[in-house]
Amino acid sequence: MHTSTRLVSLTLAGVLAALLVSACAPLSHTARQGQAPLITVADRDLPQPLTFIAYGDMRFTPTTETRASSPTVRQALVARIAQEKPAALLLSGDLPYHGGQAADYAVFTGETRAWSEQGLRVYPALGNHEFAQCAEEQCLENWWSAFPALRGHRWYSAGLGSQVLAIALDSDTSLQTGSPQRQWLEREISLLPKSVRFVMISLHHPPVADLATGSLASHNPRPNEIALADYLGSVASTSRARFIVVAGHTHNYERFEKNAVVYLVSGGGGASPYAVERGPEDLYRGKDEINYHYLRFTLTGKRLKGEMVRVEDPEAPVPRAFAVRDTFEVLAR
């Protein structure tokens, strides 16, 4: 099991040409009792107001494959995000269609070249497709080759200034009580600096979601992620920070609030869309069946504003129309 054991402080000045997790400035290592490696970006290196983007389920793969993923939508989202110039990108998994195919990672690198040219900070989480068509060891090697700054780590944290901590979890590994990943997460949360107002948790499988039937029932929350939701609910009421969880796996958009935790499903990155039967707890009431999109977060004072930015013309040869279809706010304590 690859776990995190020391704090890593990273000053970002650009990114590696192959789209690393962060910039190519050298790493410096310091030790903090009980805390895991942390990629930190100083407040002075971030734009104000702080804006970052989250989404997942792109399934980068050669453009000849059009059923599993829409290359035109995928590319339109990448281009639009590049125009946003966010301080960071939080990706919730299923970047490649098949993690065992080097060609899929090559497509990811090529199609997101605008991100690397702008020096965008990219923080990915592992999804189930990262483990497709390869043994686990080779799958991880391919992922770490694409994101060398993460080598040896399947979960990690990144400080976006003093007020936002981003945590990427691996939902292909246990999140149950007593597991190494859960113990690491509990330490991270127990040692949150007083300045942190918002904790952004990215993972692939959703802890809270609309319940599907039939073949999509396999995408419903599993015991592994339900255990995470139970834990977050137990600490959210007493924590100084607010928790926002962004997952994927279901190729649509959903929004919930449970036990003072905001849960979002953002699987509209280009993979073949899934229809959703929205239950009464889903706070998004849009009627569109297809929701290719990304999430934009803007921090202003004590308010974290979230917006779902939707592709309005996904069938166009080159999609160009985007609209904000959902807006919500999370207030710091």
Q: What CA–CA distances, in Å, run from 44 to 41, 166, 205, 270, 309?
A: 8, 18, 34, 34, 28
Q: Is residue 2, in this structure, part of any structural domain at all?
A: no
Number of domains in the chain: 1
| Residue listed under structure tokens 């904000």 | 324
C-alpha torsion angle, residues 170, 171, 176, 177 (rounded to 10): 30
Q: Is residue 219, in this structure, part of any structural domain at all?
A: yes
By CB atoms closer than 10 A (0-12, 13-18, 19+), residue 63 is middle
Domain enclosing residue 19, as ranges: 7-331
Q: Is residue 206, in this structure, part of any structural domain at all?
A: yes
CATH number at residue 87: 3.60.21.10
Q: Is residue 1, in this structure, part of any structural domain at all?
A: no
pLDDT in tens, 127-140: 999 999 999 999 99
Q: Is residue 190, in this structure, part of any structural domain at all?
A: yes
Q: Token pair of 156, please?
A: 């990690």
pTM of the entire predicted model: 0.90
Q: Is the pLDDT of residue 69 over 50?
A: yes
Q: Which residues contact 290 (CB under 8 A, 6 or more apart)?
A: 252, 273, 314
Q: Is the pLDDT of residue 270 over 70?
A: yes
Tell me, what's the pLDDT at 6? Answer: 31
pLDDT in tens, 202-251: 999 999 999 988 888 889 999 999 999 999 999 999 999 999 999 999 99
Percentage of the residues of the chain whose pLDDT score is greater than 90: 86
Q: Is residue 246, in this structure, part of any structural domain at all?
A: yes
pLDDT in tens, 285-330: 999 999 999 999 999 999 999 999 999 999 999 999 999 999 999 9
Q: Is the pLDDT of residue 21 over 50?
A: no
Q: Is residue 294, in this structure, part of any structural domain at all?
A: yes
Q: Is residue 126, in this structure, part of any structural domain at all?
A: yes
Per-residue pLDDT, averaged over 162-169, amounts to: 97
